[in-house]
């Protein structure tokens, strides 16, 4: 199983660098491609859009080809997209290459909880924590390293973006032994592939009839909204408050790095509780305190607000853990993961754009911060609902039409 653990960790490391490396070099990319401000703004909405659209395909692909094969193909798609987008020429080609990489990320996003549930059913919390910690590490590393790495490679932004393809190419290798027909049993005596029909009674599971599934989808969407707003705008909030640009970048990095240790701790704690509501509330309170601090004293307490918002953003690994806990079988986890993540990411698209509109129209951060804090309240409510003990299979068993 060591090779599978290595595959999970390497996959997680590759699920955000395509996004955060671009953010670090966005100004150079705009200048190099002659990209308009509107198109650059569109780029910030492409990741959740692709996650929502392509993620819904993952369970069907896993049933046909097996989850290991799909993740292997996903890593290959990320590699190809990262290599192509800087060099194919023009804004359209850059968008197509980005979409290819994001498609690989989307299907892998959905299938990681499925693979954890299938191969490590007794260690869902610890494996989700390991995966989430690696994901946070990859996110923060790409944001922090891309610019100095680009400078070391001669200052060419194309090289600085393409170099991340090497990491995703390495991530293809551990999955090759798990590429097999969906109806054959995996190695090491593990259960059959998701949805293969062997021991998986959930082919008829109507996930849209589950209130828990809807609560989890909305929770996922609201936490993603908060995360993308933080990544896109928090540094600007600090800069507008008089914080130096370099310090603002470090503060954003602090927020992102908070997810590395906590992403390992929170899933382990959540998996030991029958109800994850208390954790949801604690994370939400940290978010509300962070937004209040940004409003009242953005510069004076900047480090405290960065830490609090970093803690609050750990709702993401909590959501992944609840996906694994709210379904009994890997087929159920596959459907729940696809539904919650795809629906959630689509719900998150307007958030960062709306914050930008409010900031521009009001000329300050009062209204945007009020929006961020306001969204934290329903996030807590639906998170508590999603954290109730039970499974979607039990919840939909007596639903009409079953």
Domain of residue 401 covers: 201-402
Q: Quick check: 367 pLDDT over 50?
A: yes
DSSP alpha helix (H) spans, 85-204: 90-119, 124-152, 157-162, 165-172
**Predicted pLDDT of residue 402:** 43
Give the whole-angstrom CA distance, residue 135 versus residue 387.
Answer: 22
Burial of residue 181 (number of CB atoms within 10 Å: 0-12, 13-18, 19+): exposed
Give residues with Cβ within 8 angstroms of 323, minimum separation 6. Answer: 113, 216, 333, 336, 337, 340, 341
Q: Percentage of the chain surpassing pLDDT 90? A: 49
**pLDDT tens-digit map of 177-234:** 988 755 444 444 344 433 433 344 445 678 888 999 999 999 999 999 998 888 778 8
Name the pLDDT band for 239 (thresholds 50, 70, 90). confident
Residues 378 and 398 in one domain: yes
Residues 184 and 206 in one domain: no
**Predicted pLDDT of residue 89:** 77
Q: Percentage of the chain surpassing pLDDT 70? A: 91
Q: Quick check: 292 pLDDT over 90?
A: yes
Residues 257 and 153 in one domain: no
Q: Quick check: 47 pLDDT over 90?
A: no
**Predicted pLDDT of residue 181:** 57
| Closest C-alpha to 3, from 49, 51, 71, 83 | 71
Residues 2 and 136 in one domain: yes
Ranked by mean pLDDT, which of 18-22, 60-64, 101-105 comes out on top?
A: 101-105
Name the pLDDT band for 375 (thresholds 50, 70, 90). very high
CATH number of residue 63's parent domain: 1.20.1250.20
- The residue ranking higher by pLDDT, 201 or 128, is 128
Q: What is the mean pLDDT of residues 83-105?
A: 92
Work out how many domains the chain is built from and give that number: 2
Residues 92 and 241 in one domain: no
**Predicted pLDDT of residue 37:** 63
Name the pLDDT band for 398 (thresholds 50, 70, 90). low
Residues 120 and 194 in one domain: yes
Residues 208 and 156 in one domain: no
- Give the CA radius of gyration of the chain: 20
Which of 173, 200, 227 marks a domain boundary? 200
């Amino acid at each position: 199983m060591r090779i599978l653990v290595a595959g999970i960790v390497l996959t997680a490391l590759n699920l955000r660098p395509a996004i955060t490396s671009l953010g670090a070099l966005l100004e150079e990319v705009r200048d190099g491609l002659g990209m308009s401000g509107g198109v650059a703004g569109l780029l910030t909405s492409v990741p959740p859009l692709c996650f929502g659209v392509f993620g819904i395909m993952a369970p069907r692909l896993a049933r046909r080809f097996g989850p290991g094969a799909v993740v292997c193909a996903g890593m290959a798609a990320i590699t190809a997209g990262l290599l192509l987008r800087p060099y194919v020429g023009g804004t359209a080609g850059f968008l197509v290459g980005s979409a290819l990489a994001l498609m690989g990320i989307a299907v892998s996003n959905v299938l990681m909880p499925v693979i954890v549930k299938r191969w490590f059913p007794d260690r869902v919390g610890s494996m989700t924590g390991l995966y989430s910690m690696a994901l946070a590490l990859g996110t923060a590393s790409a944001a922090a390293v891309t610019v100095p790495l680009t400078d070391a490679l001669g200052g060419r932004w194309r090289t600085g973006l393409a170099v991340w393809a090497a990491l995703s190419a390495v991530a293809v290798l551990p999955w090759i032994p798990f590429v097999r027909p969906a109806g054959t049993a995996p190695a090491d005596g593990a259960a059959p592939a998701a949805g293969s029909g062997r021991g998986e009674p959930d082919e008829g599971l109507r996930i849209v009839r589950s209130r828990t599934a809807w609560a989890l989808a909305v929770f996922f969407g609201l936490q993603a909204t908060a995360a993308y707003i933080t990544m896109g705008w928090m540094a600007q909030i600090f800069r507008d408050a008089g914080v130096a640009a370099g310090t603002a970048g470090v503060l954003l990095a602090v927020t992102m790095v908070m997810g590395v240790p906590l992403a390992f701790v929170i899933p382990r704690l959540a998996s030991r509780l029958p109800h994850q509501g208390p954790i949801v509330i604690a994370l939400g309170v940290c978010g509300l305190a962070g937004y209040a601090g940004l409003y009242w004293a953005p510069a004076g307490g900047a480090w405290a607000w960065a830490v609090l918002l970093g803690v609050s953003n750990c709702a993401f690994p909590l959501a992944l853990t609840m996906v694994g806990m709210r379904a009994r079988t890997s087929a159920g986890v596959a459907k729940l993961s696809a539904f919650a993540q795809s629906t959630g990411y689509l719900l998150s698209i307007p958030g960062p754009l709306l914050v930008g509109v409010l900031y521009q129209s009001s000329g300050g951060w009062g209204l945007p911060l009020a929006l961020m804090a306001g969204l934290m309240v329903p996030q807590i409510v639906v998170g508590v609902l999603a954290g109730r003990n039970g499974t979607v299979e039990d919840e939909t068993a007596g639903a009409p039409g079953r």
